[in-house]
Amino acid sequence: MTDHRSKAPLYDTLAEAAKALANGRRAELVDVLAQGERSVEELAGEIGHTVANTSQHLQRLLGSGLVRSRRDGTRIYYSLSGPVVLTLWQTMRRAAEEHVAGLQQLADDYLGDRSRLATITRDELRDRLRDGDVVVLDVRPEPEYAAAHIRGAVSIPVQDLKSRLGEIPGGADVVAYCRGPYCVYADDAVRLLNRNGVIAARLEDGFPEWATAGLPMEHSEASAGG
């Protein structure tokens, strides 16, 4: 019979990925990196931590094999080590949504009232893109759009939308999307568009889910790393 002393280290190592994600800030980092490669400095800004603290979290993710890094001059860029990491994060998130008490209330507290926001499913958006009767706005930061985006989408980061409303064709139906179900950028964009008389809806989740479903997207040679 196999010695359990040999089995225990195997399972301990298998659990390293879950242990690395057992921290809210590291989960946030994986959520951002699901959009594409980013520098340490950009990631620090996204999670509201210092570069030093963010680097520590990234080293933990790097040590577990969930992310990889590359150096470009004086900057270090990080990305997910493979598609399975996104699958792991999405599965962990879904398990929490289905089984963790109080999670929905926490989400509502953060996201606010979404009851008046129109939504559209991935399949519905795919069909409307095929028909060419909708304007799709990617309201994520520009480096994320450059890494990959829904085919035909226009990049207008949410913080620039108010000053760029004139770029949206009059009478157009608009669909805004961002990082995923817990990203507020698309919510904010839809509310702003509605206040200015534009018919707008939010994609039901975000770009990573669109990509995972194998729906049409585009890659750009430009990236966060230049």
**Which residues have a Cβ under 8 Å from the Cβ of 138 and sit 6 or more positions away?**
144, 145, 149, 150, 153, 154, 155, 156, 177, 178, 207
69 and 62 Cβ atoms separated by less than 8 Å: yes
Q: What is the pLDDT of residues 150-191, one digit of tens each?
A: 999 999 999 999 999 999 998 889 999 999 999 999 999 999
| Residue 223 maps to a domain | no
Q: What are the phi and psi torsion angles at 48 (to 5°)?
A: 70, 30
Tokens of 69: 């890094």
Catalytic amino acids?
A: 178
Residues 143 and 214 placed together within one structural domain of the fold: yes
> Can you give the pLDDT at residue 2?
62
Q: What is the pLDDT of residues 29-85, one digit of tens each?
A: 999 999 999 999 999 999 999 999 999 999 999 999 999 999 999 999 999 999 999
Distance of CA 182 to the CA centre of its chain: 9
Domain that includes residue 68, residue range: 4-86
| Residue 177 maps to a domain | yes
* The total number of structural domains that make up the chain: 2
Q: What is the pLDDT of residues 105-152, one digit of tens each?
A: 999 999 999 989 999 999 999 999 999 999 999 999 999 999 999 999
- Residues 79, 91: Cα–Cα separation, whole Å: 19
- Residues 18, 92: Cα–Cα separation, whole Å: 9
Residues 121 and 213 placed together within one structural domain of the fold: yes
Q: Residue 17: give its domain's CATH number.
A: 1.10.10.10
Tell me which residue of 84, 75, 35 sits closest to 55, measured CA to CA: 75
Global pTM?
Answer: 0.87
> Can you give the pLDDT at residue 219?
81
Residue 215 has pLDDT above 90, yes or no: yes
| Residue 225 maps to a domain | no
Q: What is the pLDDT of residues 16-39, one digit of tens each?
A: 989 999 999 999 999 999 999 999
Burial-class residue 68 by CB neighbours within 10 Å (0-12, 13-18, 19+): middle
